[in-house]
Amino acid sequence: MMRRDQLLGDRYRLVRLVGEGGMGQVWEAQDKTLGRPVAVKMISPLAGGGSRGNQARARFLREARLTARLQHPHIVTIHDLGETDAASDAEGGADPCKVPYLVMELIRGEGLNAILHRGPVALSDAARWGAQMCDALAAAHETGILHRDIKPSNILLTRSDAVKILDFGVARAADTGATADRLTRTGFLVGTPAYMAPEQARGFPEPRSDLYGLGCLLFEMITGRLPFQAPDALGQLSAHLVEQPPAPSSVAGHIPTAWDQLVLTLLQKEPERRHPDAAHLAGALRQLARPSESTVPATKVDTGPFRRTVCGPDTPGVRPGEYLVATTGPWNVDTSGNVRLWDPATGRPVGQPLTGHSAVVYDLKFSFDGTLLVTGSGDSSVRLWDTATGKPLFPPLTGHVHAVVGVAVSPDGRLLASGGRDSTVRLWDTTTGMPVGKPLNGHTDTVVRAAFSPDGRLLATTCRDRTVRLWNPVRGKQIGRPLTGHTADSEGVAFSPDSRLLATTGRDWTVRLWDTATRKPFGRPLRGHTDTVWTMAFSPDGRLLATTSEDGTVRLWDPATGRLLDQPLTAPTGGCVTLVNCSDGRLLAARTDQQGTTQLSDLVSGQLFGEPLATGIGTPVWAACTPRTALPIPAR
């Protein structure tokens, strides 16, 4: 097809053949203009005659255009696209034809398929590499692109031990129509059967189909074999559709339960029962990467700098029935949507789990007086619960067409706000369960979090479009222009107690403060975290701001000066630390260890808040707390 020293486009000189398959070749080449090595990929003129050849060419060009849209450190970078003359010797002739070629970064490293040929990898490597794959997939999915062929031969490990995802040849833009689908269905297998999600096998891929493929890959990485054993492609597809996968630990006995739970969640037949998205899965994998190689269980929660002086009914502080805590199930294990209520003074559950959602709960908030609990779920609904009875007050509040990610309750408890993946914000009357006004439009991506100001005059929302918006909740109108400054998705949002300051966080690792009167930045961004900053809360007097991050720390700041205070609170080994949304303004943190025990701590006093809660292995998505002195505690 091509030969050494051949010049493409008067610029790229072919140096050596790197790989060859039925569909084409990959060459190492030298870019004469920039004086750098590159990789050149081209399809073979023999990839099929007639319409099949046209489809191969169209598929190749589509890969180039899709991949060029993706700029991410863990996705191969596209430099150029061109065509060259080649000769086909089909039927003894020598007919010239145009062959498209793709110029990419040249990656020095080793394919994951070659690594796995030598056997399974260390759990720490699997977690680290898997998280990087998730980062890449999250970027692709955010752009509306599905990969559809996650497998070892499409993963390259660089010499610096970084992941690069290759070959978007069967990728599909999520918003494309039938033409793109025909390109991958007519004459080409859409993906690889051994790693194919059930819905993809049926012709209906979605972002979580890529997560299923990654689940198969992770299973293979830690056990040395695929989850389903079948002699041919048809048998593999059938197994994905109807058979239940084994736990990885049943294949390799050294694998911890947390890995079993993560992988088996990824291999659920129904997409909605898997992890909600690649970004969440990346967080779960990074938490698995934190434990040491030892699997010896801990005997108690590592309390770090906190003193155990508040721990039960016979000590000062929290008393039985005084506070109520709500936690979601560990989202990377329990996707059922159940919520559990606890009495922190005893560490015991209160009543039965709150059941009704059919997918993971992304956010939950108490009303200020503690009588109501609001939950938002991946099942596209909002639910309103009576905390005294544990019963829903109304049927599910429906209107969002995709997952509900953030919820908030007004200070007077009469209004509820919800936002989600349909880019809208909706308001609801908590006394009737009915919508209030029309949806609030303006955001262009997932609405992540919402918060009412303490004076009830403002509603703030954050979004993956990197903006923060202020709304008048009474009029249902946006106030002024969006607040911009975050250089990546904006995440958490909180008002100061006097409603004068708004704090927002983001995936750019910063915390930003805004003057709510002028809607201008207040001081400089707060920097100190080394990963995504998820949530934050002000102390009741407004003199402290607490933030929590994917870096495994909770930090305290002086919002007036932007100064970082004291040492950060860190997660226990192999666990995580999050902030608790407390309706009375108390600053609480929740530290969950790798055995699934969660300890609440008061960030201001430095004391533990009640007894440990057996929330389960994994990370509670969110926890909320409220004073509730009159709450009856049913017998277990």
Q: What is the pLDDT of residues 84-104, one digit of tens each?
A: 876 543 444 444 567 888 898
3-state helix, strand, coil in the chain (%, to 5): 20, 35, 45
Per the annotation, binding residues for ATP are 41
Do the first three CATH levels of 7-105 and 323-627 match, i.e. the same topology?
no
| pLDDT for position 322 | 85
CATH code for 110-289?
1.10.510.10
- Residues facing residue 469 across a β-bridge: 461
Residues in CB range of 85: below 8 A, 6 or more apart: 96, 97, 98, 99
CB-based burial, 260-281: b 16+ in 10 Å, e otherwise? bbbbbbbbbbebbbbbbbbbbb
- Residues facing residue 26 across a β-bridge: 19, 41
| pLDDT for position 297 | 33
Return averaged pLDDT per consecutive 10 residues of the chain, 636 residues in all.
84 88 79 92 61 66 75 88 65 59 88 90 92 94 89 89 78 42 42 92 92 98 93 88 93 90 94 91 87 35 38 50 81 66 91 89 90 93 94 96 94 95 96 96 95 96 96 96 93 95 93 96 93 89 90 90 84 77 85 83 86 74 69 32
Domain boundaries, the chain: 7-105, 110-289, 323-627
| pLDDT for position 166 | 85
| pLDDT for position 4 | 87
Q: How many CA atoms lie within 13 A of 31 on its CB side?
A: 15
Q: Which CATH superfamily is domain 7-105 in?
A: Phosphorylase Kinase; domain 1 (3.30.200.20)
Cα separation, 218 vs 487, whole angstroms: 31
| pLDDT for position 328 | 82
- Residues facing residue 92 across a β-bridge: none
Helix (H, G, I), strand (E, B) or coil at 152: helix
Q: Which of these, 11, 64, 18, lies nearest to 2 by C-alpha position?
A: 18
The per-residue DSSP string of 333-380 comes to: T--S--EEEEETTTTEE-SS-B---SS-EEEEEE-TTSSEEEEEETTS
* CATH number 3.30.1490.100 is the correct assignment for the domain at 323-627: no
Sheet holding 468-472, edge to edge: 447-452, 459-463, 468-472, 477-478
| pLDDT for position 161 | 80
| pLDDT for position 445 | 92
The residues annotated with a catalytic role in the active site are: 149
Angle formed at CA 71 by CA 70 and CA 72, multiple of 5 degrees? 110
Per the annotation, binding residues are 41
Retrieve residue 197's tokens: 């999600």
Sheet holding 511-515, edge to edge: 490-495, 501-506, 511-515, 520-521
Mode of pairing for the β-strands spanning 576-582 and 623-627: parallel
